[in-house]
Amino acid sequence: MFFQEDFEQMRSLEQDLTFLSAKTEFDESNIPFKEKNFGIQNQDGIYTNLGLLLSDQCKHTIKVAVFDGETQNIFQDRNEFTGSLFKQMHEVYSYIDFRNQKHSSFSGLKRIDKRDYPEVAIREALLNLIVHREYSYSASSFIRIYTDRIEFTSIGGLLKGITLEDIQLGISVCRNPKLANIFYRLELIEAYGTGIQKIIDSYSESEFKPQFVTTENAFKIILPNLNYQKKNNKIQEDIVVYDCPENKILEFAKTHAQFTRKDVQDTFNLSQTTCGRILNRMKEEGQISQHGKGKNTFYILKEKK
Pairwise CA distance, residues 83 & 78, whole Å: 17
| 97 Cβ contact list (under 8 Å, min separation 6) | 119, 122
Tell me the pLDDT tens digit for each residue of 76-111: 999 999 999 999 999 999 999 999 988 766 666 667
pLDDT at 211 over 90: yes
Q: How confident is the model at residue 252 (pLDDT cuts 50, 70, 90)?
A: confident
Classify domain 245-301 at the CATH topology level.
Arc Repressor Mutant, subunit A (1.10.10)
Lowest average pLDDT, out of 24-28, 102-106, 246-250, 251-255, goes to: 102-106
pLDDT > 70? residue 254: yes
Tens digit of each residue's pLDDT (9 = 90 or more) over 215-238: 888 999 999 999 987 543 444 434
Question: Which runs of E-coded beta strand occur in 123-166?
Answer: 141-145, 149-155
Q: State the DSSP code for 296.
A: G
Instruction: Report if pTM > 0.85.
Output: no
Task: Report how far residue 229's alpha carbon sits from residue 75's, in angstroms, rounded to the nearest whole number.
Answer: 21
Return the CATH number of the domain spanning residue range 7-224. 3.30.565.60
Structural contact between residues 61 and 80, judged by C-beta atoms closer than 8 angstroms? yes
Residue 300, sorted as left (phi over 0), alpha (psi -120 to 50) or beta, turns out to be beta
DSSP line for 274-295: HHHHHHHHHHHTTSEEEES-GG
- Residues 6 or more apart whose CB falls under 8 angstroms from that of 148 comprise 70, 224, 225, 228
Nearest 10 degrees: Cα torsion 9, 57, 140, 188: 70
Helix (H) or strand (E) holding 299, with range, is strand 298-301
Residue spans of the domains in the chain: they are 7-224, 245-301
Q: How far apart are CA 121 and CA 211, in angstroms?
A: 12
* Burial of residue 179 (number of CB atoms within 10 Å: 0-12, 13-18, 19+): buried
Instruction: Please check whether the two domains, 7-224 and 245-301, share a CATH topology.
Output: no
> How sure is the predictor about 148, in pLDDT bands with cuts at 50, 70 and 90?
very high
Give the separation between CA 196 and CA 138, rounded to whole angstroms: 25
Gyration radius of the chain over CA positions: 22
Q: Describe the chain by its helix, strand, coil percentages, rounded to 5.
A: 35, 20, 45
